[in-house]
Structure 1
Amino acid sequence: MELGILSLSDLQTDPATGALHDPARRTREIVSYALAADQAGLDVFGLGEHHSRDFAVANPAIPLAAIAQATSRIRLTSAVSVLSTLDPVRLHQDFASLDHLSDGRAEIIAGRSAFLEAFTLFGIDPAHYDDVFAEKLDLLLAIRDDGDHVTWSGRHRPALDDLPVPPRPQQEKLPLWLGVGGTPASVERAARLGLPMALGLIGGDIRRARTLTEHYRALGQAVDHRPEALRLAVTSHFYVGATSQGARDDLYPYYREYLRPKSPGGRGWLIGPRDFQAVSGPSGALVAGSPQEVIDKILTERELLGIDRFIGQIDFGGMPAAMVNRSIELLATEVAPAIRKELGQSANTGTP
């Protein structure tokens, strides 16, 4: 099983000034987290894409390219690329170039996003939300699978008639995962296409996801995809501290700040201490606590859902860099070795 971290690059308000944190500084901090994860032997680093002033990164490929030049082992992925609002040709080109810079370590997680800003910015009608995504995913797969001779047509983008899409990646094909939020339709799309699936668990009880993951594998095999192709990743909010209660006490104000609505009627929700204790408990989606608690929860997800990859969202709500770096260190030095030992695995060697 692979272990990694991700950042969505959220920007929070400085309580002393009322201004958003500096996006330049935030981006540089995120790069430093990826370098720390690589040096510590973690397997994957993911970076999200957003198009509002509440986030620092709009194009993950650019910071990931900087990370590629300063790392040697860790795999680099978007988390996610908002395919509905992107040109699949450009997306594949960006990540093929990243693949060259990283010596074959690039991946794409493609998703739809629940944020409407990107649709407005790029002139995509949200009324065609699913149709546009399905069509662009079809084109992205055509480029990935036969990029030297792409013939394709659709309703939302000009056709391609036996055209090459250079550059080709260093890997034979760019690994492409489908990012899903838990809707049955998204799970079924991943299964029918035989794509590995990255399931975002952001709240509730992890046991509820079992029906979805079992359906994903059963449907995928029913349409003749090999079981080993139906890989499953889980992403969750994440924090590991030295002690159980100490980790929760440290994390709660940042978790609450991250989730709370930033404007009247805005996205998010208020989480109180009781709800926080529930979501961080043994079956809750939040992976937070002492090293042993985190080990136990990831192994539970492995047993319950059959996950092949766990990626923790490591920084959110304005957490200071020292706190994030300490969590990365504990993940790499205490959590990862114990999980690898339990599963009979060795440390990351940089291979897919």
Structure 2
Amino acid sequence: MELGVYSLAERTGAATARDRIGDIIDYGVHAAGAGLDVFGIGEHHTSRFAVASPAVVLAAVAARTSSIVLTSTVSVLSVLDPVRLYQDFAQLDLVSGGRAEVTAGRSAYAEPFDIFGVPIGEYDAVFEEKVGLFLALRGEEEVSWSGRYRAPLERAVIPPRLERRLPLRLGVGGTPRSAERAGRLGLPMTLAVLGGDPAGLAPVVQAYFGSAELHGHDRSSLGVGSASHFFVGRTSQEARDTFYPYYRAYNAEGRGIHLDRSTFEAMASPRGPLVVGSPQEVVDKILRQHELLRLDRFMGQVDIGGIPPKNVRDSIDHFAADVAPVVRRETARKTF
């Protein structure tokens, strides 16, 4: 099972974009040095976030690391040109020595559709079409393609070409339809596990594997990842006391939600969505997600709400040293 961390690069508090990007690069380098498998950076197009181009920032991480997988979490393919997205991450793949990956999603925000002139009322159809073009770009030497939302291509050779097929995952917010699409296309998916009991997403995973089987895809091409809000401390009390004020600020500033302590504690309980607590609590939560959702990857959002860099690095260290070995050992015994 792959274990990693990611940042959405939100700017809760007074952090400048420059400072946030510097810290995020350091977190990627720190995660690699600690022995984690994957590091991800999100893409957003509002001033509340510091990163609009994950490939650029991931390239800075690539320059200081040698083995960690570098993924977007997510690339907003609905509003992007698939040709340019392919080129950016193929270039990152060359820079990193074959470690780039795209996780593509539809966007949880309306603003990018206005910025890029994409009709938000057709966002699912746009996404479907663009995924199809991206698959052609990564799989064909010469691409001939036509669609509704972009100029056609006729025997186009899109550089740079890679010696491998650029990995693509689909980000799924929790709808069976999105999971069925990932299964139909034979692509791995990453689920957002951010609210409610993760058990509620089991039908989505069933829809994914059912769709993949219906369309004849081999199990080796599939995979289910999860992405959760996350913090590991030395003890349960330390983790919750440290994380709560920053998570409250994250919800208040970004979502307009007042998160009281009792609600937070319920979210951090054994069946809640927050993966926050002592190393053993975090182990138990990841293993429960693994069992319920048939995971092959877990990603924790590591730097929420302006939490200080020292706390982020400490959480990464606890994750890598105290959680990861147990999770890897236990999940190695389980096959689905």
TM-score, length basis structure 2: 0.97
Corresponding position of 1:202: 194
Aligned AA for 1:7? S
**Following TM superposition, where does structure 1 have runs of at least 4 consecutive aligned residues deviating by more than 2 angstroms?**
267-270, 341-345
Q: 2:298 aligns with which of 310, 314, 331?
A: 310
How far off its partner does 1:169 sit?
Answer: 2.6
Alignment of 1:221-300 (within 5 A): 221-262=213-254, 267-300=255-288
| Aligned-partner SS, 1:76 | strand
Stretch deviating more after TM superposition (114-123 or 289-298): 114-123
Question: Take 1:341 and 1:184, find their aligned partners in 2: how far apart are those partners?
Answer: 31
Match of 2:12 in 1: 12
Residues 261 and 270 in structure 1, CA contact (< 8 A), matched pair in contact too: no
Structure 1 partner of 2:93: 99
Q: Distance in 1 between matches of 2:36 and 2:253?
A: 33
Alignment correspondent of 1:342: 330
Pairing partner for 1:85 from 79, 89, 94: 79
- Secondary structure of the 2:298 match is strand
CA–CA separation in structure 2 for the residues paired with 1:4 and 1:175: 16
Output the CA distance in 1 between the equivalents of 2:218 and 2:101: 20
- Give the secondary-structure state (helix, strand or coil) at the position aligned to 1:110: strand
1:138-174: per-residue Cα shift (whole Å, max 9, x none)? 111110111x21010001100001111110134x101
CA distance in 1, matches of 2:253, 2:316: 28
8 Å Cα contact 1:239-1:289 kept in structure 2: yes
Instruction: Using the TM superposition, name which of 106-115 and 116-125 deviates more.
Output: 116-125
* Alpha-carbon distance in 2 for matches of 1:221, 1:227: 8
1:40 paired residue among 34, 38, 52: 34
2:313 maps to 1:325: yes
Identity of aligned residues (%): 51
* Aligned residue pair count: 333
Stretch of structure 1 that moved more, 57-66 or 214-223: 214-223
> Partner residue of 1:350?
none
Match of 2:138 in 1: 144
In angstroms, what is the RMSD of aligned CA positions? 1.1
SS of the aligned residue for 1:310 comes to strand
Q: Which runs of 5+ in 2 are unaligned?
A: none
1:342 Cα deviation (Å)? 2.2
Q: Contact conserved, 2:58 with 2:70, CA < 8 A, in 1?
A: yes
1:268, distance to aligned residue in structure 2 (A): 4.3
Whether the 8 Å contact between 2:287 and 2:331 is mirrored in structure 1 is no
Q: Which amino acid aligns with 2:162?
A: P
Deviations 1:15-47 (A, max 9, x none): xxxxx3111011000000000011111000000
- Contact 1:49–1:78, Cα closer than 8 Å, also in 2: yes
What does residue 212 of structure 2 align with? 220
Q: Any stretches of 5+ residues in structure 1 without a counterpart?
A: 14-19, 346-352
Shift of 1:261: 4.6
* Structure 2 counterpart of 1:26: 20
1:167-206 aligned within 5 A: 167-170=160-163, 172-206=164-198
Report if aligned partners of 1:41, 1:73 keep a CA contact under 8 Å in 2.
Answer: no
Are the aligned partners of 1:85 and 1:122 in contact in 2 as well (CA < 8 Å)? yes
Does the 8 A contact of 2:42 with 2:74 survive in 1?
yes
**Of residues 108, 118, 125 in structure 1, which corresponds to 2:119?**
125
> Which amino acid in 1 is paired with 2:207?
H
